[in-house]
Amino acid sequence: MITVSAFKWVPPFAQGLVRDLRVRWALEEAGLPYQSRLIDREVQRSADYRMQQPFGQVPVFEQDGLTLFESGAILVHIALKSDVLLPTDEAGRARALSWLFAALNSLEIHIQQLAEIDLFVPDAEWAKLHRPDVVKNIHQRLGELASWLGDRPYLEDRFTVGDLMMTTVLRILRHTDVLDAHPTLKAYKERCEARPAFQRALAAQLGAFQQHERRKD
């Protein structure tokens, strides 16, 4: 059985965004059953967990003696097992993987900066001065992505792991109105989020948080 580590609880601003969601979604799309291993701060800091995830983050993927960390690497591993996530032809697979890395390296690196400013240091003077440049860079990247997407439903000729990763990156902007300036991308994100596999993955992640909150009460 596949096991995926996830947090028992995170603050509301992070719920639905924690990166185990990417792995849950990929597994749901691929039809691969899994179980979650819910961890707290004590486990996160432990030597045993750091042997699996050197940075103490989630998710960790475990199956038949194989342990993987980093959501991008885990998604590649899962996608290689599923023609739902990767085309069967070599060129199509390569293109899909290109989009996965583009989501991480060309989009998330900018979008995550904005999230960190807005959610952690919004009142810092340096953050106020830096934020306009960060937003400008994001709009540039989003504009370029929207130009490529055009009237396509997905980044290539069908849904792939590249769309999965790109959608989870775009979701990081949910605390802002940035995506409203790019209606094509907003519709694209919502189209991907409407997939049943995503809805199941999101419900699973949020369900764990809700269960933890009920126990606290």
Q: Tens-digit pLDDT profile for the chain (217 aa)?
A: 999 999 999 999 999 999 999 999 999 999 999 999 999 999 999 999 999 999 999 999 999 999 999 999 999 999 999 999 999 999 999 999 999 999 999 999 999 999 999 999 999 999 999 999 999 999 999 999 999 999 999 999 999 999 999 999 999 999 999 999 999 999 999 999 999 999 999 999 999 999 877 777 6
d(CA 184, CA 69) in angstroms, rounded, equals 32
CA angle 157, 141, 21 (to 5 degrees): 65
Q: Which two tokens stand for residue 144?
A: 């370029």
Number of CB atoms found within 10 A of residue 34's CB: 20
Pairing of strands 66-69, 60-63: antiparallel
C-alpha to C-alpha distance for 10 and 12, rounded to whole angstroms: 6
Asked if 71 and 57 touch (Cβ cutoff 8 Å), the reply is no
Residues, the chain, total? 217
Residue 209's identity, in one-letter code, is F
pTM for this one? Answer: 0.97
